[in-house]
Amino acid sequence: MMKRLKLAVAAVVLSAGTALAAQDTLTLGMALEPPNLDPTAGAAAAIDEVTYANIFEGLTRFAPDGSIVPSLAEKWEVSDDGKVYTFTLNHNVKFHDGTDFNAADVVFSLDRARGPDSTNAQKQLFTNIDKVEAPEPFLVRVTLRSSDGNFPFNLAWGDAVMVAEESAATNATHPVGTGPFKFVEWAKGDHVTIERNVEYWGTPAKLTSATFKFISDPTAAFAAVMAGDVDAFPNFPAPETLAQFESDPRFKVLVGTTEGEVILGLNNRKAPLDDIRVRKAIAHAINRQELIDGAMFGYGVPIGTHFAPHNPDYVDLTALSAYDPERSKALLKEAGVEGLRLRLALPPPAYARRSGEIIAAELRAVGIETEIANLEWAQWLEQVFKGKDFDMTIVAHVEPMDINIYARPDYYFGYAKPEFVTLMDTLAATTGREARSDLLKKAQKMISEDFVNGFLFQLPKAGVANAKIRGLWENSPTPANDLTAVFWEE
């Protein structure tokens, strides 16, 4: 009897040990739910946070350190004039529905992204393409209208992933890519589940499945992580609680950088915001450190232009729009707009809602009243981003190296100064490192000196995870929760 009892206990211990060693699923928290799951047909960063590198892949991709590395393209060559890129594709790649991936899919994907009916949020990335050809099944030739040394970088964006003609129309609700994970289900309002693609062409994922759990409320997010209902929350919406996690050995806190410039977006198209004196007055009314301390609990870096401080070409222009409420009042008086009242449209993220309350108080102190409207993402995208129906808004632009959005005439804040457009055209045609750096610095100064928007702070990547999880990105060179190298330590 005693022998059988010992064997039973040993079996239980062995079973528990095996279960622990075999832990290969993950529940990951996200503050925002994506509006759809097609990165080629939506501007919301949450789409890429679920799908980038997990479900969908591009010809190139961002590595965790921000470098550009091969993905579906094994290698590429560029002509001496910088106008023709020839990509050699990996063989034996299949989409999740079993169809083969080849050069024809690349032609379809790039032509679709740049076509007249394209709904791609970053269509600008593809406008320089003159033609895309498939001379061989695994060879693609892309001819550009002008040389662009940044083209492999553009192709690493989530908006440039490869899709199949057979499944492109339904990717918004049932995404079919070539990545190491396959879509399983989307329970709207709650979660998206993916599972390991056992027929993946590359290095297989270590996780058998993963669930992206949507928890927008900071208090609920804290409770979910503490209870173990969520294993990791890479962009944690309650930074005020991170110190508590740091002191708990069950968890680790990951603090890194993102490409997210948080701005007070101003509608340059409409009066009185079409007057630089009014925009300048708003900028001088804002105390960036008060925002970082009050809304982000000390996490974040002040910015004075639309550029990431960790970029080697960054210019610190914060002094140009330094906090100076008396200067704000004088500028408003000079512009003849005393007693001004403006609408402030806020999307759901905590950084926006919290910053909005602080900025409203700061603007009130210089004589500007604000009418705050809290919008859901779908509302914000429709009303602000697409409809341009707003005065002010607060949002993080998380796309990498995206200063060229200021050259777009139809972009929501409506700048597109001809001199800036020319500057961006010159940048696109420039390949020399020093020359590009000089142009990028000029671009930063131009939008800063024109006070296009209120430049607030660089969004930090502050997250928390179970201490046994390995392989999560510490920094975010692009919006992504890349799970391709994530595993549990035994």
- Evaluate whether 460 touches 296 at the Cβ level (below 8 Å): yes
- Asked whether residue 5 carries a pLDDT value surpassing 50, the answer given is no
Whether 271 and 340 have beta carbons less than 8 Å apart is answered as no
pLDDT value of residue 140? 98
Q: What is the mean pLDDT of residues 130-143?
A: 98
Average pLDDT rounded to a whole number, residues 100-108: 98
Residue whose C-alpha is closest to residue 350's, from 384, 300, 405, 311? 300
SS3 320: helix
Q: Give all domains of the chain, ordered by start, each with its CATH number.
A: 22-250+467-489 (3.40.190.10), 259-460 (3.10.105.10)
Query: Between the CA of residue 293 and those of 239, 283, 296, 309, 411, what are the distances in Å?
Result: 11, 18, 6, 18, 31
Task: Specify the pLDDT at position 178.
Answer: 98
The answer to whether the beta carbons of residues 485 and 259 sit under 8 Å apart is no
Sign of CA dihedral 296, 302, 306, 312: negative
At CB < 8 A and 24+ separation, what contacts does 429-435 make?
A: 429/146, 429/147, 429/148, 430/149, 431/82, 431/147, 431/148, 431/149
Q: With a cut of 70, say whether residue 17 has pLDDT above it.
A: no
pTM as predicted:
0.83
Instruction: Supply 427's token pair.
Output: 């940048």
Percentage of the chain modeled with pLDDT above 70: 96
Classify 102 as helix, strand or coil.
coil
- In the beta sheet, which residues pair with residue 232? 28, 465
Helices and strands in the chain, H and E counts: 13, 21
Q: How far apart are the first and last CA of the chain?
A: 34
pLDDT in tens, 231-256: 999 999 999 999 999 999 999 999 99
Task: List the alpha helices (DSSP H) in 196-297.
Answer: 218-227, 242-246, 276-284, 288-296
What is the 8-class DSSP label of residue 52?
Answer: B
**Under 8 Å between Cβ of 252 and 467:** yes
The three-point CA angle 300-306-310 to 5° equals 50
SS3 of 353, please?
helix
The residue type found at 381 is L
pLDDT at residue 150 greater than cutoff 50 = yes
Q: Which residues does 159 contact at the CB level (< 8 Å), separation at least 6? A: 39, 40, 113, 120, 121, 122, 125
| pLDDT given at position 429 | 79
Burial 214-224 (b: 16+ CB within 10 A, else e): bbeebeebbeb
How big is the CA angle at 13 (ends 7 and 16), to the nearest 5 degrees? 140
- Which stretch of DSSP H or E encloses residue 359? helix 350-365
Per residue in 167-222, pLDDT (tens digit) is: 999 999 999 999 999 999 999 999 999 999 999 999 999 999 999 999 999 999 99
